[in-house]
Structure 1
Amino acid sequence: MNIKSIGVEEWLNELEKSAALDIAQSTIASLTTAEILALGDEENGGPGTGAAAFYEALGREKQNYGWIEGSPEFKAEVAKLYRGIDGKGIDADNVLQMNGATGANLAALYTLVHPGDHVVAEYPTYDPLWEIPRTLGANVDLWHLRQEADWNPDIEELKRLVTKNTKLICINNASNPLGTVLSRETLEQIVEIARSVGAYVLSDEVYYPLENSEDFASIVDLYERGIATNSLSKTYSVPGIRMGWTVSNKEVADQLRTCRDYTLICGGVFNDAMAVHVLRHREQILERNRKVIFGNRAIAQEWIDHEPRVSWVPPKGVSTSFITLDIPMGDEQFCRRILAERGVLLVPGSRFHLPRGARLGYCAQEDTLRAGLAQLSEALREFD
């Protein structure tokens, strides 16, 4: 297989550990293990008892393969995140544990896409959603997010791209790095188009919006041939345990089971237990993360308002954002320079096929964000 490197991952693999001020990531200020386990303190009698109860229960578990598809507790907690097409929920048996959303997307694409298939993919976004289908031999057309439309797609363009032979439509809701959240109305239009030709819709939903969440719809709540992928890495602030999942209909889930046997087998006893703990306390985490998102977005907006060389479309309650840079050099050259000279890490927009910009990880710890933006301003003043 001749598969291209993922630009953003290649960049971070090389440089992220050398940064003093990392404002490139798209996770909401990662939680420590102690912070995660302290979420159980209130139900176990006080400080430290949540961790004690967790490890006591874990100590009784054998470190074998555990539950291959994810424990019943994991599946049940994930199922609670979805309403289902009829509003009565989804079948937890169709939830499959994966190695993050990355592994979930890989499994879905490997399962559904074959040489010669026609795939339409949102672009620009996270490379695997269109690069993996191309590598598998599919004919891929790109559905563009356009800056002049505030990084929203044109549904009429999708209608022109989809044909009677279209097998799959890939979307990233919300978009990485742009932060675009597709409205329910737009999703319903996508579903109508897909249903007219019998196409599947794969929706990477790892960036769940914490603003107007009641208006957000998962693809599996709208479409019987929808496949949703997600994980605990972004919105839930726990990327380290690599816990993700797919949700689909039974037919697709049964096909995904075979792919899992080749690529994953299981997620691990410890990781499953930690994932269940996180999901059971998700409301506490989401409350904490809303404060991070809204507080940090206000900080970033104030900075942009006073920074003539920077603009953005404000992210709608998601942790990833993209800034446009008015600079007389390439964005990658600039990002390497500020890292070398100031210790500030961004991801250049060119790594997402978006030149003259950068992914800003505005949901870093507040002190890191403020210090990073201050250094970024000083670097931009050098162009005045």
Structure 2
Amino acid sequence: MKIAEFGVESWLNQWEKSAKYDISQSTIDSMTITELLKMTGDDPSVLYDQLSHVKMNYGWIEGSPEFKAQVSSLYDHVKPNQVLQTNGATGANYLALYSLIEPGDHVISEYSSYQQLYDIPRSLGAEVDFWHIHEADNWYPDINELKRLIRPNTKMICLNNANNPTGTLLDKNFLQQVVALAKTVGAYILIDEVYQPLDHPENFTSIVDLYDRGIATNSLSKTYSFPGVRIGWTVASDAVSDLFRKYRDYTMICGGVWNDILAVYILQHKNVVLARNRKLVLRNLEIFKNWVASEPRVSVVLPQAVSTSCVKFDIPETTESFCLRLLKETGVLLVPGERFDLPGHARLGYCTDETTLRIGLKKLSQFLRQFD
């Protein structure tokens, strides 16, 4: 089995710890447990006593009943038994692809998007066709292109909603058109749903609430601000979840006793977490909009209050070399678009803390003046 280097992850693995002003990430400003407890108003001893006294065995293999109940409540028609805990959304995506994709299968993957969704199928021997997104169409793919790509033997359609790195959200009407096409050949639809809009959450619809062969993956890493908990999940039909169980035994045993307890606590208090994050995202989005409007060498298709964006640079240099010089000379970190096969662009994570965002944008503008 051979697989391509994971572009965005290898870049961040190499450079993120050396950044002074990290505006590359797609997580909404991560929190400490102390910050979370201050927001909830709970007595910290209750959670800490639970963590201190729980037996450190394997715990609940698929996630605790409390975890499964909390996750299932995020969807319209999902039962707890359809939820499987994973090691983040990366683990969830891998589980779904590993369980379903075989050599010779035909897979259609949104492109550009999160690299797992096309390079894992290719590494498993599938034939992968790219369903391109288009900047001129607000980074939407063309449904007519999907009609041309789909085949009688298409096994799966892979999407990232909202998209990483562009932040574009596919609406319910568009997803229903994708479902209608998938039904004609019985294809699965796998959607990584870690980025969700915080300005109008009603605009988001999960694939599992639209299609019986839909598979949703998600985690606490992005919208919920807790990547360090390393907890994600798959949600699928009973039959597909039962299939996942067999393959899951080969990829992980459990998510960890402490991790599960923290995940349950975060989900139990999701309203305060999301309220905090909604305020942060909307405030920072205004700062970001104003900066783009004032910066002549930058343009962007604005995201819908999700935590990632993709800026376009008007510069006479590759964005990879530009971003590396930017980091080394100013301490500001972006992800160059080459890491998403989008040269000329960069992922800009505007949902860091406000101070880091303001300083990072100011230094980025100053650095861009060398091209004037």
TM-score tier, shorter chain, comes to over 0.9
Q: Which residue of structure 2 lines up, in the alignment, with residue 261 of structure 1? A: 249
- How far apart, in 1, do the equivalents of 2:230 and 2:246 lie? 20
Of the candidates 66, 69, 74, which is equivalent to residue 73 of structure 1? 66
Q: Which amino acid aligns with 1:8?
A: V
Counting only pairs closer than 5 Å after superposition, residues 50-129 of structure 1 correspond to structure 2 as 51-84=44-77, 90-129=78-117
Query: Residue 273 and residue 39 in structure 1: after superposition, are their counterparts in 2 closer, same or farther (change >3 A)?
Result: farther
User: What per-residue deviation string (whole Å, max 9, x for no partner) do you get for residues 100-138 of structure 1?
Assistant: 000000000000100000000000011110000011000
Q: Which residue of structure 2 lines up, in the alignment, with residue 87 of structure 1? A: none
Q: Which amino acid aligns with 2:167?
A: G
In the TM superposition, what is the alpha-carbon distance from 1:338 to its structure 2 partner?
0.8
In the TM superposition, what is the alpha-carbon distance from 1:270 to its structure 2 partner?
0.2
In the TM superposition, what is the alpha-carbon distance from 1:211 to its structure 2 partner?
2.1
User: What per-residue deviation string (whole Å, max 9, x for no partner) do you get for residues 22-66 of structure 1?
Assistant: 00000000011211233442xx4xxxx1x2100112333100000
Of the candidates 244, 264, 282, which is equivalent to residue 232 of structure 2? 244
- How far apart, in 2, do the equivalents of 1:376 and 1:358 lie? 12
Q: Which residue of structure 1 lines up, in the alignment, with residue 340 of structure 2? A: 352
CA RMSD of aligned residues (A): 0.8
In the TM superposition, what is the alpha-carbon distance from 1:274 to its structure 2 partner?
0.2
Q: Which amino acid aligns with 2:233?
A: W
> 243-252 vs 205-214, which deviates more?
205-214
- How far apart, in 2, do the equivalents of 1:332 and 1:169 lie? 30
TM-score, length-normalised on structure 1?
0.96
- How far apart, in 1, do the equivalents of 2:3 and 2:55 lie? 38
Of the candidates 186, 195, 200, which is equivalent to residue 188 of structure 2? 200
Q: Which residue of structure 1 lines up, in the alignment, with residue 308 of structure 2? A: 320
Q: May I ask how many residue pairs the two structures share in their alignment? A: 372
TM-score, length-normalised on structure 2?
0.99
In the TM superposition, what is the alpha-carbon distance from 1:317 to its structure 2 partner?
1.4
In the TM superposition, what is the alpha-carbon distance from 1:216 to its structure 2 partner?
1.3
Q: Which residue of structure 1 lines up, in the alignment, with residue 325 of structure 2? A: 337
CA contact (8 A) 2:161 2:191 kept: yes
In the TM superposition, what is the alpha-carbon distance from 1:78 to its structure 2 partner?
0.2
Confirm or deny that 1:365 pairs with 2:365.
no
CA contact (8 A) 2:112 2:132 kept: yes
Q: Which residue of structure 1 lines up, in the alignment, with residue 8 of structure 2? A: 8
Q: Which residue of structure 1 lines up, in the alignment, with residue 298 of structure 2? A: 310
Instruction: Give unmatched runs, 5+ long, in structure 2.
Output: none
- How far apart, in 2, do the equivalents of 1:37 and 1:252 lie? 37
Aligned partner of residue 382 in structure 1, secondary structure: helix
- How far apart, in 1, do the equivalents of 2:309 and 2:203 lie? 20
Aligned-residue identity in percent: 58
CA contact (8 A) 1:322 1:360 kept: yes
Q: Which amino acid aligns with 1:323?
A: V
